[in-house]
Amino acid sequence: MTTKEKIKNVALVHFAANGFEGATLTAIAAEVGIKTPSMYAFFVNKEELFLQVFEETQKEYNLYVIRSITNSAISSIQEKLYGVLNSSFKYNQQQKDKISFYRRVILFPPPGLEEQIKAKLSVTEEILSNVLQAIFMEGIEQGVIRNIDIEVLVDAFYCLMDGIFLEMSLYDREKFERKLTNAWNTFWNGITLSN
């Protein structure tokens, strides 16, 4: 692993635990095993480091979710859409530091970086949106999903995902899985032609 990668990995943990304001380049450098001035050979400032960590975290999450759908033998529309939710849940269980960081950024963006964060969110959301649009379109063409505007379906699905994202941090696994199943069944019953 390169020094730059080590810096980003350590920074992610510090940003997740302490937020942007609480994480210091000095503490990050010390944990990496370099002096603070050496950080500037890799990053112009803390903001650049933060934004790179954020962007890479987003990309990794999207890639994980998309791969879980495209690399599996899932065939039905229902399984594909539920697979997005389920892979999101699995990722959250496996990558706690990254999810803590992401949650903190979304809920409490660092002052002065809000617009850059929104722009990065928009770009990476578009990637997943394209996958979701294709699944919904396939479902409509197969007569499984009601003929609803694709944008409406994607927006509703994102709201479901956002709610689930929050619920994951509030409840134990058993209660969360019950809530996930109930929310999913309600969503699915609302968009399908026959139940």
Q: Which residue would you say has higher pLDDT here, 29 or 97?
A: 29
Q: How far apart are CA 19 and CA 41, in angstroms?
A: 23
Q: Which residue would you say has higher pLDDT here, 191 or 96?
A: 191
Q: How far apart are CA 46 and CA 192, in angstroms?
A: 47
pLDDT of 195 strictly over 70: no
Q: How far apart are CA 63 and CA 59, in angstroms?
A: 6
Amino acid letter at 62? Answer: N
Instruction: Tell me the mean pLDDT in the region 162-172.
Output: 85
pLDDT of 28 strictly over 80: yes
> Any idea where the domains of the chain sit in the sequence?
47-190
Residue 72 is predicted with a pLDDT of 64
This prediction's pTM: 0.84
Query: Average model confidence (pLDDT) for the chain?
Result: 91
Q: What angle do CA 138, 143, 148 make, to 5 degrees?
A: 75
Q: In the CATH scheme, what is the code of domain 47-190?
A: 1.10.357.10
Note the pLDDT tens digit of each residue in 128-153. Answer: 899 999 999 999 999 999 999 999 99
Q: How far apart are CA 80 and CA 137, in angstroms?
A: 12
